[in-house]
Amino acid sequence: MNQLGMETQNISSKANGLLKRILRYRYVYLLVMPGFLFLIIFKFIPMWGLILSFQEYNPFQGIIGSEWVGLKNFKDLFTSEQFYMMFRNTLVINIFSLVFYFPLPIILALMLNEVRHEVFKRVNQSIVYLPHFLSWVVVVSMTYFMLSADVGVLNKLLNQLGMNQVALMSDSKYFWILLTLQSIWKDAGWGTIIFLAAIAGVDPQRYEAAVMDGASRLRQIWHITLPAIRPTIIILLILRLGSMMDIGFEQVLLMYSPVVRDVAEVFDTYAYTQGILRGQISVGVTVGMFKGVVGLILVVAANRIVKRMGYEGLY
Amino acid sequence: MSFVYKKRLTTIDWINYVLLAIIAIISLFPFVYVFSVSFTDPESYIPLKLYLFPENWSLAAYKYILSTASFINSLMSTVFITVVGTILNLLFTLTMAYALTKKKVPGMKFMMGCVIFTLVFSAGIVPNYLLVKELGLLNSLWALILPNLTNAWSLIVVKSFIDNLPTELEEAAIIDGCNELGVFLKVILPLSMPVIAAFTLFFAVAHWNQYFQALVYLTDSEKWTLQVLVKSLVIDSEAIGAASSGAVSDDSTQPPSETIRMASIVLSMLPILIVYPFLQKHFAKGVMLGSIKG
């Protein structure tokens, strides 16, 4: 075999190399294909529809034939009163969730961790995890049975005590706190799992040393347990801020009624009512696009921050 | 070890136990109340009374619901999407997740990038609706299955689980002349049973509880799922003022009574309540699998 022959063989093998490797791994491609086709059809093709936010959608012309209107849809969105309403509601619902919901799984995990009686602990965990598995339809239904003016337990009690009824469910004053209470009832228990795991990772010797030094239980929690789970708390907090645009849409939609519209309207409910119920496709696509892009920026930023702190992020 | 835990309960312990018991009661109370009313005889039910235990035990509400065609139809729809949807979820998620662990195969990193992109960005409600409409899936139960065949979070969690499996068995199988398909079926799947158990439950619960897609994609009330039916029975009749609920209208134009509404809620969560005590540990394990990544 001479030099020249080897070189030509090299070139042709480089050209064929990729093809050979693809053939070599044909079963890997076979396995990835169903999932990949799914992503293309149901996740990426709809992104093509985002073009509609720059068009005045005409159902008879479709995406290709509809009239281009530039940034008109965005101008309309940003100058509408509803936009500021949606923005405020999204912010307030998030603030309520951060202030009232976020600390509770941490506190509950600390409380559960102090329980020495194994059976009590396990039964308690089983009970507080349970509501997580109910649908929002069931949770909102139960809220009616607890709090509504005519059939609610609360008003039955007030009635028996001879007091006036309160209409919690049809008053926009209570809407945000009701959403938060529902989230707490449904998910605060389930949220403890990740903190309990973090607490379980603390070296028991540190508690033993603290006891030798005469530290009380509360001091042990403050000086050992809390610092040990601080990274978990910080990561979850940052990722929670990163997903601000995704407030429980099904929950809000189920609690939505004309009476509470001013405090309940968020980007997704607006996209649904305008885009699908009223058929203003371009309006719905535009508001969805705005929400998606802001959400994208927030999630990527949150993930960067978590990674820069030296932890593993979402991806 | 010289160190011994104090067994005696301190005041703080007692406060802790009492608070936890109260939290458990708050978690359970709505269940107890809904059960009690649903088993109370509708004839003797007094609207202004607070029931903590069923009085005049009766199955009348359940018999009524189970005799309506709308409930049976929606139960069948929900069982169909849950069973078929979950099986397809496992198929699509496990195959792709395993392929994604093969980083040295050309194109796999790109595909992982695609998966992550769908994690952080989605086209939104209206474009998804237009796609389902264009595909002719409106009013078909497949509209609740096909758009949810897999998702980025599940793919990432299952992929990182497979990444962490010991590689010796896989290598041995390849030396024995097994291709990737054989490795997947004979080595990876048997080793992945914990993650399969957890995700079977997650997928099934998600399908059973799915509400929004059913609301938007199934306009024909004969195709309704349980969640949409319960919503129309309980929430709509509540919000509108119990005046015009025609959802269960097989043999009466009466709005559904409270006992019937509560019985429909109990039935809609019954499968979850039945499997929950047995499978709770798998659910919790699933969360831990997820928290390794994210």
> Which pLDDT value is given to residue A148?
86
Q: Provide, as residue numbers in chain B, all residues whose Cβ is less than 8 Å from the Cβ of A25.
A: 102, 105-106, 180
Residues of chain B with pLDDT under 50: 1-4, 241-253, 293-294
* pLDDT tens string A49-83: 999 999 988 888 877 888 899 999 999 999 999 99
Residues in chain B with CB shorter than 8 Å from the CB of A32 are 95-96, 99-100, 108, 111
Angle between helices A118-129 and A192-200 (to 10 degrees): 150
Burial readout A279-292 (b: 16 or more C-beta within 10 A, e: otherwise): ebbbbbbbbbbbbb
Contacts of A185 in chain B (CB under 8 A): 26-27, 30
The pLDDT assigned to B248 comes to 44
Cα within 13 Å of Cα(B280), Cβ side? 18
Residue A297 touches partner B, C-beta closer than 8 Å = no
Q: What is the pLDDT of residue A52?
A: 92
User: Which chain A residues in 92-121 lie under 8 Å from chain B, judged by CB atoms?
Assistant: 108, 111-112, 114-116, 120
- Residue corresponding to tokens 């936010």: A53
In DSSP notation, A199-210 reads HHTS-HHHHHHH
- Is-contact B247 A154, C-beta < 8 A? no
pLDDT band at A126 (very low <50, low <70, confident <90, very high): very high
- What are chain A's domains? 3-68 (no CATH), 72-308 (1.10.3720.10)
- pLDDT of the residue at A143: 95
What pLDDT is stored for residue A16 in this prediction?
77
In this prediction, residue A10 has a pLDDT band, given cuts at 50, 70 and 90, of low
Position B28, amino acid: L
DSSP secondary structure of A115-174: ---HHHHHHHHHHHHGGGGS-HHHHHHHHHHHH-TTT-HHHHHHHHTTPPP--GGG-GGG
What is the rounded (10 degree) CA torsion for A284, A289, A295, A296?
Answer: 160
Residue B239 has its nearest CB partner, among A120, A257, A313, at A257
Which residues of B are less than 8 Å from A116 in CB distance?
5, 7, 13
> Which backbone phi and psi does A154 adopt, to 5 degrees?
-55, -45
Q: How far is A195 from chain B (nearest CA, A)?
A: 10
pLDDT at site B84:
98
Alpha-carbon distance of B114 to B108, in angstroms, equals 10
Check CB contact of A248 with chain B, cutoff 8 Å: no
A281·B130 Cβ contact <8 A = yes
Give the whole-angstrom CA distance, residue A38 versus residue B92.
9
* String of DSSP letters for B231-284: IIIIIIHHHHTSS---SS-SS--SPPPHHHHHHHHHHHHHHHHHHHHHHHHHHH
8 A C-beta contact, residue A133 and residue B203 = no
Taking the CA of residue B250 and the nearest CA in chain A, the distance in Å comes to 23
The band of A17, judged by pLDDT with boundaries at 50, 70 and 90, is confident
- Could you read off the pLDDT of A127-172 as tens digits, one per residue? 999 999 999 999 999 999 999 887 788 988 888 888 888 888 888 9
The yes/no answer on whether domain B61-294 falls in CATH 3.20.20.80 is: no
* Residues 6+ positions from B64 with CB-CB distance below 8 Å: B260, B263
pLDDT at B240: 52
The residues spanned by each domain of chain B are 1-58, 61-294
DSSP string spanning A28-88?
A: HHHHHHHHHHHIIIIIIHHHHGGGGGGEE--TTTHHHHSEE-TTHHHHHHHHSHHHHHHHH
Cβ-based neighbours of B42, under 8 Å, separated by 6 or more: B58, B60, B61, B257, B259, B260
Kindly report, residue by residue over A29-46, the tens digit of the pLDDT: 999 999 999 999 999 999
Quote the tokens at residue B288: 């831990």
The pLDDT tens digits for A248-263 are 899 999 999 888 999 9
Does the pLDDT of residue A191 top 90, yes or no? yes
Q: What confidence score (pLDDT) does residue B209 get?
A: 97
Tokens of residue A44, six digits? 């990426």
Name the residue among B107, B103, B211, B197 with its Cα closest to residue B159.
Answer: B103
Residue A207 touches chain B, beta carbons under 8 Å: no
Cβ contacts below 8 Å, chain A against chain B, sum to 273
Tell me chain A's radius of gyration from C-alpha atoms.
27
Q: Which residue has the tokens 């070139």?
A: A11
| Contact between A197 and B291 using a beta-carbon 8 Å cutoff | yes
| A168 token code pair | 């919690």
Distance CA A186, CA A255 (A): 15
Of the candidates B242, B257, B262, the residue with the CA atom closest to the CA atom of residue B43? B257
B115–chain A nearest CA distance, Å: 8
Query: Distance (Å) from the C-alpha of residue A143 to the closest C-alpha of chain B?
Result: 8
Contact B16, A108 (CB under 8 A): no
Mutate to test the interface with A, among B2, B92, B112, B130 (most CBs of A within 10 A): B130
Averaged pLDDT, A274-301 = 95
Question: What is residue B242's predicted lDDT score, i.e. its pLDDT?
Answer: 39
Q: Do B123 and A137 touch (CB under 8 A)?
A: no
Supply B187's token pair.
């080595």
Which of the four pLDDT bands, split at 50, 70 and 90, describes residue A8? low
How do A67-68 and A55-56 pair as beta strands?
Answer: antiparallel
Instruction: Reduce the DSSP state of residue B57 to 3 states and report it.
Output: strand
- For the record, the structure tokens of A253 come out as 């939609």
Q: What is the C-alpha R_g of chain B?
A: 24
Residue of B nearest to A303 (CA): B294
The complex's ipTM works out to: 0.90
Average pLDDT, chain A: 91
Distance from CA of B132 to the nearest CA of A (A): 9
Residue of A nearest to B17 (CA): A115
The closest of B152, B136, B151, B150 to B217, measured between CA atoms, is B136
Give residue B218's pLDDT: 94
Nearest CA to CA, how far is A128 from chain B (Å)?
Answer: 6
